Amino acid sequence: MLQPLENRIALVTGASRGIGRAIALELAKQGAHVIALARTQGALEEIDDELRAHGQEATLVPCDLKDFDALDRLGLAIHERWKKLDIFVANAGVLGPVSPLSHIDPPAWENVFAVNVTANWRLVRSLDGLLRASNAGRAVFVTSGAGSNAAMNAYMGAYAASKAALDAIARTYAAETAETSRVRVMLANPGPLRTKMRAALMPGEDPMVLRAPEEFAPKVAAMCAPDWSETGKFYDFKTDAVKGFRAPA
Q: Kindly list the catalytic residues.
A: 159
In DSSP terms, 241 is beta-bridged to 236
Residue 157 engages ligand NAP in binding (rule: CB under 6 A):
no
Interacting span for ligand NAP (CB under 6 A) from 53-61, 130-138, 171-179, 196-204: 196-204
Interacting span for ligand NAP (CB under 6 A) from 16-24, 76-84, 120-128, 179-187: 16-24
Residue 19 engages ligand NAP in binding (rule: CB under 6 A):
yes
Q: Which one of 45, 57, 64, 214 is in contact with ligand NAP (CB under 6 A)?
A: 64
> Which string of x and - marks every residue 104-143 that binds ligand NAP (by CB under 6 A)?
-----------x--------------------------x-
Among left, alpha and beta (phi > 0; psi -120 to 50; other), residue 231 is beta
CA atoms within 13 A on the CB side of 37: 25
Rounded CA-CA distance 88/67 in Å is: 18
Residue 92 engages ligand NAP in binding (rule: CB under 6 A):
yes
Question: Which residues, numbered 204-243, are part of the site for ligand NAP (CB under 6 A)?
Answer: none
CB of 1 to ligand NAP, least distance (A): 31
- Cβ–Cβ under 8 Å, residues 188 and 220: yes
Nearer to ligand NAP, 64 or 230 (CB): 64
- Side by side, the strands of the sheet bearing 9-13 are 59-62, 33-38, 9-13, 87-90, 138-142, 184-189, 233-236, 241-243
Rounded CA-CA distance 119/130 in Å is: 17
Residue 28 engages ligand NAP in binding (rule: CB under 6 A):
no
